[in-house]
Structure 1
């Protein structure tokens, strides 16, 4: 039990410099956050060019120079005072149209570092003001052409305990570069440079200002994204354009085949402000739910614009989180916009290029062998390898109009699973099981959305033994499963009776299907509407796997072509239910590269 202190403590106000240092900890967590605040100030000042320089990851030096409107000499002390800003008068904190508005960044940096602020307004004399650990010097004349230069030296020297929490020099420098890139993505008409002065001078990043395109206003942003994220993203990504009740979503979404092992290539902006918002990032993941393999993360750059009064950016001092007035509307807009954009998407050409790069080193450069050498080599093969290949589907003679289809016309089936199709630009290799699995899944989802999946009664009910917990879980979900065409009843302890299956599944293995459904119900917990939707989709996905064309089944030419035509008409047909590609396209020039002809 806690005892009362013997001496009653006295309440007293903190020293102003201590207050500033405490408050600075909320705004300036590391060098990258200092760079973020200074670059945002430059953007708010109308800068068209921003130059950033750092030394030792930003600990020793951060310098941000811009050509913005500048600060008058008489206002420099006020610029370093806490809660002093030119961006709002505080009358309406919901109508925020600038990056900054709290008036804390410069004061926080002046409290924990050695800061020099130099600025000049066009038509007036330049001036500078230095601060060290919260103590301000005198305003003095300074030579500067235009705009503002902020130099921050010895970050956290006044609060040395904070230095222990910083990461290594390289990690801090990478975090600074990431901040500059994110802000550069939001402002394509501003030029950015980032230099590292640790050892000499190394140019880390240079982005020239983009020129507006009157015919396509989004072209400048696309070029900036290409410069920041790489050529593959902007060429393979699909554009987004969706609107709902005053919220407008634009940007680009990377194809599922280009997904990465981490989420570092996900960028979200709200009214031009880079944010790390849980709602938006969760909606981004949900938009890819049906087309992405487990453990993979999509590349995306999403820009959400709305009336500032519909979103609160005054949630955290770092302004990295936001709160929407109608979060469900925003989430639905992002999820729906992504799914509509990705539905007709095809695998990126990058897949074919990667295939070429993987295959080329395995092609030895040898002289052409003689027929006798080939015969001798064949006879020397192990008996298992010298056996004749199993019969393949017959070769199909091409017709004049077959090449007009995006996935071409089937020409052969190899190893019982791979369909080879000829297109006007090359050829396509299709994984028949993965492709049909997606087609069945989408068909089941359409039928479920219409009210109920058509079912087919079994002649004799099938009793399936399950662990008791799984049997109970299936029994509780019996009503939901019935809407999906799976009619099950409890059959004693640890067993269920399967009476009907979805008609689209044909002769699927009922016992394996029920066990997979039980696993899906166990993996997808929760009781809210979203959890129920995820659970139903998971069940349909497992069911589709059992109803698809199996590997090893020989298909007739008309069956292969019917599969290709249905793929062309089905959303998300480029990926199976697990996110893997269903086909790879090889252009003629890719094939020529494989054979060293280019």
Structure 2
């Protein structure tokens, strides 16, 4: 027997899709506040959001006539229903408030300018009448006892600590999306005023300065100090934001944030594009840190593909992917030899005696002319006449003659010595640089080999007997769609009738390969990320090994002109600040940091 469900059951079913946990409720309520034009939003929670979630904003508010309608399903002020692709707000379905009211105890108090405040309550789907209420302006939404009407859902919630972490993540993502809005997150589990756990003030300025300030507050100073500004455009899509240098990477994908038309999303296409942009600079166990925004006409992207609106679908996914890859790679190339500042901080931490701070002695720093004359006066006239002079240089350090004075003004300075037949010690105008000569030269050779490959293509070798691989019709179509891209990398495939493909050529650089296994790896990546760098990764891994064997070997003594030539080439070569695995090729220490190590200031 088919029966019509009542409104309460319908709202509870909808709540299961929209409100998975307390963080989902916070997301929906804060997004409503942003859509209402709020400039300051306060979020209070108790017991991980299970017993209380309160969101207060200074937005436009709602009238007493609108309050009952706001609790009706599919009632919204954000769209008129004529064009479901023209979405310019966070919310548009009109499901959040009635869903929350169906599974918890919801109270809404609001006031529009020029009118009296009003309040309405709904508990387990049962709605009360509108009552007068005192409020200066904006809206206060209070949700108590979440899932009390559906107690089975409570069993699936995690610990209070885990739920608080999820709420904090949601608020931080929305804070990054809206740098001009101030956010305050407060834990009121113990009553009273509670404890502020997160707070950011509204930022001012243009797009990049406001976003830079907000990301500094949310992600920390280290991220913004080591991030590159991104601004690229292609076929109606614009990419902006910040992307960290490869040497500032993470051990997990915890610092990757994507926003499409201001909406925080987790999208496989964008994650795959990010991986493609960085895969040449990071090993597989390291993850880049980025905060990227894609803005476009709403008709070019569909945000109505997931109940939580966390996934999107681009009308031209290839354009979106190409924009992310090219925009990031262009920015990384523009960074030249730059390495992250955290590398120097870690070095200083390793040099500083553990558990003790160096005593600071005040001293006046002499001028350059005074230092030079002092050095000349102290220098021995003849090494032979000076007892013990030959022993002043350690056996593992090779000291070179003084370089040209102007070299010290260059970014990587002038080579002064080679330590342990590998590390170049260079003096700059503001400190010193230590270079891993083998890693640096390996990167330089690798970049040259890549440039040659890009110019001449990847040579392929024909298989005596083509490898035939059977697969599903969907996999076959997906693979043939990228056949031209694979051909440029030396992998030649073609249809073999039905749902089979034939591998006729493989990249010559790889030698003998398991063609079937390679094809299946490509399909796995296509399914997981929407794109594949499997073949390119294998080809460039070979180039990396060739570069390693062709670079300066540890243990080889270098002449002064060789060391300086390496430094100059690093300055002129993009990506030379990290080796082929994302590790830094040099460490820079400022003179002030060095003096602090020795207790000088």
TM-score normalized by the length of structure 2 = 0.81
Q: Distance in 1 between matches of 2:287 and 2:522?
A: 23
Partner of 2:344: 352
Partner in structure 1 of residue 6 of structure 2: 15
Give the deviation of 1:537 after TM superposition.
2.1
Residue in structure 2 matching 1:158, options 136, 149, 152: 149
In 2, Cα distance between equivalents of 1:229 and 1:303: 16
Contact 2:60 2:112 in 1 (8 A): yes
| Cα deviation digits, residues 209-258 of structure 1 (max 9, x gap) | 11224xxx421111111111111111221111111111111111112222
Contact 1:567/1:573 (8 A) holds in 2: yes
Q: Counterpart in 1 of 2:444?
A: 439
Hey, what does 1:275 align to over in structure 2? 265
Note if 1:90 corresponds to 2:93: no
CA distance in 1 between counterparts of 2:511 and 2:591 reads 45
Q: Cα 1:287–1:224, aligned 2, differ >3 Å: closer, same or farther? A: same
SS class of match (2:353): helix
SS in 1 for 2:568: helix
Q: Which residue of 2 aligns with 1:209?
A: 202
Residue 352 of structure 1 deviates from its aligned partner by 1.2
5 Å-filtered alignment, 1:39-438, equals 39-200=30-191, 201-213=194-206, 217-345=207-335, 346-362=338-354, 390=395, 392-438=397-443
Shift of 1:199: 2.3
Query: What is the CA-CA distance between 1:314 and the residue it aligns to?
Result: 0.5
Write the distance in 1 (CA, Å) between the matches of 2:130 and 2:357. Answer: 73
Matches of 1:403 and 1:483, distance apart in 2 = 45
- TM-score for both structures, normalised by structure 1: 0.82
Which runs of 5 or more structure 1 residues have no equivalent in the other structure? 1-9, 368-385, 455-478, 485-500, 503-512
Deviation, 1:591, is 0.8
How far off is 1:539 after superposition?
2.3
Report what 2:566 is aligned to.
563
Q: What is the DSSP-based 3-state SS (H/G/I as helix, E as strand, rest coil) of the residue aligned with 1:258?
A: coil
Cα separation, partners in 2 of 1:482 and 1:11, compared to 1, 3 Å: closer
Deviations for 1:112-154, whole angstroms, at most 9, x for unmatched residues? Answer: 0000011111101111110011111111111111111000000
- Decide whether aligned partners of structure 1 residues 366 and 191 sit closer, same or farther in structure 2, where only a CA change above 3 A counts: closer
CA-CA distance at 1:293 after TM superposition: 3.0
Q: Structure 1 549/131 Cα, relative in aligned 2: closer, same or farther at 3 Å? A: same
Deviation at 1:563, TM superposition (A): 1.1
What is the distance in 2 between the residues matched to 1:254 and 1:236?
A: 6
Q: Distance in 1 between matches of 2:25 and 2:271?
A: 24
Closer/same/farther in 2, CA of residues 365 and 337 from structure 1, 3 Å limit: closer
Q: Cα RMSD over matched residues?
A: 2.8
Are the counterparts in 1 of residues 358 and 599 from structure 2 also a CA contact under 8 Å? no
CA distance in 1 between counterparts of 2:189 and 2:537 reads 50
Aligned residues: 517
Matched, 1:547 2:539: no
1:583 alignment partner in structure 2: 586
On the 8 A contact 1:393/1:556 being kept in 2, the answer is: no
- Distance of 2:441 and 2:112 partners within structure 1: 66
Q: Cα gap change, 1:77/1:364 in structure 2, threshold over 3 Å: closer, same or farther?
A: closer
Runs of 5+ consecutive residues of structure 2 not aligned to the other structure? 360-390, 460-485, 492-507, 527-531
For residue 347 of structure 1, report the CA deviation from its aligned partner.
1.2
